[in-house]
Amino acid sequence: LIEAISDEQLRRFRANAGAGQLLTTGLFALVRHPNHLGEAMVWWGFGLAALAMGGWGVWPVLFGPLLLNLLLRWVSGVRMSEVDLEARPGFAAWVASTPAMLPWPRPRR
């Protein structure tokens, strides 16, 4: 659901916003990549469901969601998505104030 909502927000933003703008409202105000968060949550759900059905003997099924998280956050997803965004106005402030994938509370300054 998170992935679908964020994809729709992004679709509407691209249809209405001028080129070179950043989407920093809706789910994108909570995390910079809610679509990646939604994708990861789906795969963690599959892994945890398999774990619940098969017990700890099937714990290796959690390797898939873990690997997906690592790839989305550190290799392909976030890094590749942000290459085009870096030159846009407000990007540095958005990165400083908004977590990449997990909505952790930020310390107050």
Nearest CA-CA partner of 62 in 34, 40, 31: 40
Q: What is the pLDDT of residue 2?
A: 94
pLDDT digits (tens, 9 = 90+) for 27-39: 999 999 999 999 9
For residue range 51-79, list pLDDT tens digits in order. 888 877 788 888 989 999 899 888 888 88
Phi, then psi, of 22 in degrees rounded to 5: -110, 140
- Nearest to residue 23, comparing CAs of 73, 76, 85? 85
- Entry pTM: 0.82
Q: What is the dihedral of CA 29, 35, 38, 44, to 10 degrees?
A: -120
Query: What is the CA angle 7-99-11, rounded to 5?
Result: 15
Residue 25, pLDDT above cutoff 90: yes
